[in-house]
Structure 1
Amino acid sequence: MNDATQQLLQHKGVLILAWIALLFAAERWLPAAPRRGGWTRVIRNAVLWIMNSALSPLIVIPVSLWAANHALGWRPDWLGGGIGLIADILLLDMLIYWWHRLNHEIPFLWRFHEVHHLDEFLDVSSAVRFHFGEVLLSAGARAVIIILLGIPFTSVIVFETLVILSALFHHSNLRLGEKLEAALARVIVTPSIHWIHHHAIRADTDSNYATIFSWWDLVFRSRSATKRTLEMKIGVEGRHDEEVLPLIVLPFRNNR
C-alpha cells in the first residue's frame, strides 16, 4: 500500500468520525422521534461496530486492495479521472442496491443481515451495527465486482466513504424540515425513506433498499408507499432485539 492510499484511508477515517460526532450531537439537539432504548442500546451497537472496525484493516481493506490489483484489464483509458469516478459511484451504488436486496431475499444472507434490523430504534449508532459475518460476506462480494469490472481502489474507497456517510445520515434520528427532506429525497436516501425499511412490518422491511441515491427503488419498483410516522414500530416483525453475545451467535443457531 503506497503513501497516497494510506493518506486516502486516513482522510476517510477522520471524515467518518467527524460525521458521526456531528450527527450524534445534532440528533440530540433536534430529534425527530423520542429516544427509546437508552444508552444500553447505543453501547450494544457500539460494541458491534468496534468488532467490525477491527476487521477493516485486517481483512476488508486488504481484500479490496488485492482485488483492485488483480482486476481484469478491460477498462478503457477514457474511463478515468472524474468521469470514471462518477461512473464507478453510480454503478457501485446500483450494485449495492441489489446486494442489499439479496440480503433480504436469500435466507442465508438474511441470517446475518437480520442483526442490523433487530435494532428497535434508529439513530446514528444503527448505521454501524452489523454482524461481522455480513461484513465479511460483503467484502467477498465486493472483491468479485472489483475484479470483474476493473474498479480502481481509489473509486472503491471514495464510494465506501459515501456509503458510510449516507448510511449514518439516513439512519439518524435527525429532525429535518418537511420541505428540505422532500427536496433531498428526490436525489438521496433520507431518514423518512429509510425508516420505512426498518418498519417492523415485513412488507416494508423488504422495500426501500437504496443506499446513496434514492431513485434505484423507483427504477426497480421497490419503493414502499408507506409514509413514516414517529410512532411506527422499528425492528423485525415478531422478534425482539437481543444482547451482544446472542446477536453474534444468532445466524448460527440450529433452530433458525
Structure 2
Amino acid sequence: MENFVEVLLTYKGLIVFVWLLLLFVLERTFPASALTKNSEGVEKYFPVRVWRNICLWFCNLLLSPLVVIPLTIWATTHLVGWRPAVLSGGIGIILDVILLDCFIYWWHRLNHEIPFLWRFHEIHHLDMNLDTTSALRFHFGEVILSAIMRVLVIVLFDIPLVSVIIFETILLVGTIFHHSNLRLDQRLEKALSMVIVTPSIHWVHHHALRSDTDSNYGSVFSFWDRVFSSKSLARRTLNMKIGVEGATDKSLPQLFLRPFVKRKD
C-alpha cells in the first residue's frame, strides 16, 4: 500500500509540475493582460511577487509530508465503511470528485464568510496580479485548516485514497489554469466556462471589489455558483484591479504573520 501511494503521489506531482511549467511559459508568450513591469518598463519573468508566491508554495511543500499527507492517509484508513460495492471503480471515483469539489466550494465560501478563516485566506487574495503562481500562494495556516476539515469529509463519506489523489490532481490543474494569464479564444473559454472554472470566471473573484471577491467560489466545476446563487454578474476586464479592497500586498514576513496580528482592517 505504501509503495502504491508513493507511485500515485509521484504521478500527481509530475503532472502538476509539467502543467505549471507549461502554462507559466504560455501565459508569458500569449498573455491576456500586460505582464508586470519594473520601474524601467522592462518585463520580468520573475518579479518580486512571483518569488513571494513561490516561497509561500515552498513552505507548503515542506508542510505537505509532515501534516497534509499523514492526515489524508489516516482519514482514508479510518473510513466509516458504509460504501456499497456499486460505488467502487470508475463510478465511485466520478462521484467522489463531484462530492469533493462541492466540499471545496463550501469550504472556499466559508473562508470568505467567517472572519477567522478570512484572515488566512486573505493572503491568497492580497496578490495584486494574477498568473499561474497565484494558484500556489496560500498561507500555511489555511493549508492546515483545510487538511483538517477534509479529514471529516473523507471519513464520513467513505472516500478512498485513490479518489482523493485523483481529485487533488484535477483540483491543482484546474486552479493553475483559472489563475493563469493565458490568452484564450473567447468562444473556447465561453464553452469551457459552462462546465469548468476558467480565468474569465475566477479573475472576477479576485477583483479588488468586495462584492465580486465574495462570489464565484467554484474551483473545478463552474455550476456550483449557479446552483447556490453565488455567481457574479460582473464580467472580467483585463484592466480590472486585482487584490483586496482597501489593502495592498505585503512583504513575505508580513504575509506569514498577518493572520496572527491584531489589526483594524
TM range (shorter): over 0.9
2:4 equivalent in structure 1: 4
Q: What pairs up with 1:78-97 in 2 under 5 angstroms?
A: 78-97=86-105
1:186 equivalent in structure 2: 194
Structure 1 consecutive aligned stretches of length 4 or more whose deviation exceeds 6 Å:
none
C-alpha deviation, 1:5, in angstroms: 1.2
Tell me whether 1:71 sits opposite 2:63 in the alignment: no
2:221 equivalent in structure 1: 213
2:173 equivalent in structure 1: 165
Higher mean C-alpha displacement, 75-84 vs 33-42? 33-42
Aligned-residue sequence identity (percent) comes to 57
Tell me whether 1:197 sits opposite 2:205 in the alignment: yes
Paired letter, 2:3 = D
C-alpha deviation, 1:30, in angstroms: 0.4
C-alpha deviation, 1:142, in angstroms: 0.4
C-alpha deviation, 1:104, in angstroms: 0.1
Distance 1:204 1:36 in 2: 23
Distance 1:93 1:239 in 2: 30
Q: What pairs up with 1:43-58 in 2 under 5 angstroms?
A: 43-58=51-66
2:35 equivalent in structure 1: 35
1:106 equivalent in structure 2: 114
The alignment partner of 2:86 has SS state of coil
Deviations 1:33-86 (A, max 9, x none): 002265111000000000001111111011000001001011111110000000
Distance 2:215 2:257 in 1: 26
Distance 1:42 1:138 in 2: 24
Paired letter, 1:113 = H
1:254 to 234, 259, 262: 262
Paired letter, 2:20 = I
Tell me whether 1:143 sits opposite 2:151 in the alignment: yes
Deviations 1:84-106 (A, max 9, x none): 00000011111110000000000
Distance 1:23 1:250 in 2: 30
2:233 equivalent in structure 1: 225
Tell me whether 1:62 sits opposite 2:70 in the alignment: yes
Distance 1:250 1:54 in 2: 20
Alignment TM-score, normalising by the size of structure 2: 0.95
Unaligned runs of 5+ in 2: 38-43
Alignment TM-score, normalising by the size of structure 1: 0.99
C-alpha deviation, 1:3, in angstroms: 1.3
Distance 2:151 2:52 in 1: 29
Tell me whether 1:130 sits opposite 2:138 in the alignment: yes
Computed over aligned residues only, the root mean square deviation of the Cα atoms, in angstroms, reads 0.8
2:14 equivalent in structure 1: 14
Distance 1:162 1:32 in 2: 23
Unaligned runs of 5+ in 1: none
Distance 1:217 1:77 in 2: 32
